[in-house]
Amino acid sequence: MDEKARRLSSAVEQTADSVFITNKSGVIEYVNPAFESTTGYSKAESLGKTPALLKSGQYDASFYRELWATVKGGEVFRATIANRKNGGEIYWAQQTITPMKNADGTIAHFVSVLKDVTAERKQQELEYQMLLASEVQRNLYRDLVAMPAGFDIVGSVHPADAIGGDFFDLIPMPGGASGSP
């Protein structure tokens, strides 16, 4: 093996992203160490299997038909998809599948690179949920509250960066009035 091939092999082995290579029938022939640590599938458990071992159950058959039609047609497939780890946990990956062609231009293999983006997806979901909760909270205080005669109410709403529970305080009034009926 020449120096260039050794360097390339070392780069694939040491990258933080999962890399696996299948033959043109989709049978896994190579996985790098990041694939093993990310998915929980060892090299021994993966080799000879198909990428179906990562199926999350969140996509129908037409999704996979389109994926295979794309790569078998010589095009690169890119998507952020849900995969399943060996222990059953779902993780999100930015995945690229690239057809590898022989010198004569025919497809011989497919190389797949997966970047685990689960933490980023969870952060985006949290930010979205916070935005929705903040909007709900703002809408709750839109209308004025009508009080019976003889009662006064004072209130103040201060938007927060993050939402929390509502806080109300009843303050005893001079003369023994409690401010509540």
Per-position pLDDT tens, the chain of length 181: 799 989 988 988 989 999 999 999 999 999 999 999 999 999 999 999 999 999 999 999 999 999 999 999 999 999 999 999 999 999 999 999 999 999 999 999 999 999 999 988 888 888 888 888 777 777 766 666 666 676 666 666 665 566 655 555 666 667 655 544 4
pLDDT, position 143 = 61
Could you name the CATH architecture of 3-116? 2-Layer Sandwich (3.30)
Structure tokens at 100: 């590898």
Nearest Cα to Cα of residue 37 among 87, 95, 96, 110: 87
Q: What is the dihedral of CA 104, 64, 93, 161, to 10 degrees?
A: 140
| CA–CA separation, 89 and 91 (whole Å) | 6
Burial (CB < 10 A; 0-12, 13-18, 19+), residue 41, is buried
Count the neighbouring beta carbons within 10 Å of the beta carbon of residue 43: 14
* Sequence ranges of the chain with CATH classification 3.30.450.20: 3-116
pLDDT, position 141 = 63
pLDDT, position 100 = 97
